[in-house]
Amino acid sequence: MTTTADSAKAPATASSDSTIGCACEKVIPRVDYASPELRQRLTDHIRSHGVVVVENVFTDAECNAAMDELADSLHALSPALTRKPKTWTRENLPAGPRQGMYHSLVAQFPVVWDIRSDDRVHNVFQHAYSGLRGREITRFVTSCDGINVKPPTAPFHDPEKDWAHVDQTHDTDNIFKCIQGQVVLTNTTAAFRCSPTSHHYLQELLDLDGGCRSAVSDFHLFREDGCRAIAAYVRATGGAYQTCVHARKGSMILWLSSLVHSAKGQDKHAPIDRSDPWSQWRGVVYVCHRPREDVDEQHVNTLETAFASNRVTNHWGSKVFPKRNRRDRTTRTGLLAQLSARPQDAFAIANLRPQRTARVDALLRGGEWPVANGAVDDDDSDGGDDQEALADEDVSVNEDGADGSAQQEHSDQDDDDARGNA
């Protein structure tokens, strides 16, 4: 992956994506990354719809290269896993709430950091937050979020099932508080799904579902009865309920944590484009940058610990996921079992330890964005000498006690295999 704001390569095209041109293009606002009005259009669309697709952020070649690196990284964790779809079984894959989505071992892959710390990704978030807040925001921290990689095999999309939820249940009067994102690396019938404009009625929708069920967690999964009431409410107020957001390879999707959203899986009989090596695979890297001014030192310490110990955080970047999801009862053996118990051991495998570049350092600590990238000297990094110690720590604050209980609640709620991927 490159980290320059401009690329000489041709942008990704939609020729291999049979889903482009679907009805969602009339409902979901879109803007090209190269638009001279990028900031204004991002601001307007996020304010009005709560979601926007930024097209042509990455090139087709960059997306293919990223998928190659993700597949190679997963293979390094689990040698039995190859690019043959039949090998993509749970026992060969890192732990996670559902097939394709991983909350273990993947957040610190070098290729994931290449995407998180790309100038273009930073630029999109800077435009979005600066536009929404009416002043220039330059310092950000990132989440150490998971990824979603899945071949076009079962389980496929079931139109009768959904897992509509929001990721914000507190500060409901501040609906623009947190912007989530994903970088789309493949052309596929799988898609992000959301209810545009629903963020305007966050508290009303929570009330329709019986109110917030957790005093700590921001994750709220709507009940079936609540979903019916919410669908009627959203449509009555001029919005759309749970429409798919098909985005071309190379796009970024931004949405508010206060927006009702979920995802759909691949369609069972989706046509495969043989000229595209990753046609119909789901390939998503989740990216969530937040203004440094919104978080405290404890938050920064959580990110440092996740980075050092090879752990995955939630979208907010405030909590570390448990090493194993309680509902994931799959037995893993060999190297993958060892790494699942001690994630930091993966850094001893060739090409799996991320480099702490100036951009990575800025996103972990919330520093000013560097003009030129490069490795950070240990003397220039507060955490440089303490990385080994942090890696050996058990992140118990997020697995036990009050904070850990909230995280486990989140993990339990979003761990239903009958529902789609985010």
Q: How confident is the model at residue 402 (pLDDT cuts 50, 70, 90)?
A: very low
- Is 412 within 8 Å of 326 (Cβ atoms)? yes
Cβ partners under 8 Å of residue 68, min gap 6: none
The pair of three-digit structure tokens given for residue 111, joined into one six-digit string: 């290729």
Overall size of the chain counted in residues: 422
Predicted pLDDT at 16: 39
Q: Write out pLDDT tens, residues 250-290.
A: 999 999 999 999 999 999 999 999 999 999 999 999 999 99
Examine the pLDDT at 74 and tell me if it is beyond 50: yes
Q: What integer is the mean pLDDT of 31-56?
A: 99
Residue 355 in any domain: the answer is: yes
Domain residues for the domain of 207 are: 24-413
Q: What integer is the mean pLDDT of 90-119?
A: 95
Q: What is the CATH number of the domain that holds 39?
A: 2.60.120.620
Predicted pLDDT at 281: 98
Predicted pLDDT at 160: 80
Residue 68 in any domain: the answer is: yes
Q: What residue has token string 């985010």? A: 422
Q: What integer is the mean pLDDT of 10-23?
A: 43
Predicted pLDDT at 34: 99
Among the listed ranges 59-73, 306-320, 360-374, which one has the minimum average pLDDT value? Answer: 360-374
State which amino acid sits at residue 249.
K
Q: How confident is the model at residue 389 (pLDDT cuts 50, 70, 90)?
A: low
Round to whole Å and give the CA distance between 50 and 32: 17
Q: What angle do helix axes 334-341 and 60-77 make, rounded to 10 degrees?
A: 90
Q: How confident is the model at residue 413 (pLDDT cuts 50, 70, 90)?
A: very low
Cβ partners under 8 Å of residue 71, min gap 6: 83, 149
Give the residue with greater pLDDT, 7 vs 356. Answer: 356
Predicted pLDDT at 206: 95
In total, how many domains does the chain have?
1
Give me the chain's average pLDDT, please: 87
Residue 19 in any domain: the answer is: no
Residue 6 in any domain: the answer is: no
Quick one: DSSP state of residue 138? -
Could you tell me the strand order of the sheet in which 243-245 lies? 220-221, 165-166, 261-264, 191-194, 243-245
Q: How confident is the model at residue 326 (pLDDT cuts 50, 70, 90)?
A: confident
Residue 9 in any domain: the answer is: no
Predicted pLDDT at 390: 61
Give the residue with greater pLDDT, 139 vs 401. Answer: 139
Residue 119 in any domain: the answer is: yes
Helix %, strand %, coil % for the chain, to 5? 35, 15, 50
Query: What are the φ and ψ backbone dihedral angles of 420, each rounded to 5 degrees?
Result: -80, 180
Round to whole Å and give the CA distance between 310 and 106: 8
Q: What integer is the mean pLDDT of 11-31?
A: 60
Residue 7 in any domain: the answer is: no
Round to whole Å and give the CA distance between 42 and 48: 10
Three-class secondary structure of residue 73 per DSSP: helix
Residue 421 in any domain: the answer is: no
What count of other Cβ atoms lies within 10 Å of the Cβ of residue 383? 21
What residue ranges in 147-271 does DSSP mark as E strands?
A: 147-150, 165-166, 179-184, 191-194, 220-221, 243-245, 252-256, 261-264
Among the listed ranges 73-77, 123-127, 383-387, which one has the minimum average pLDDT value? Answer: 383-387
Predicted pLDDT at 217: 85
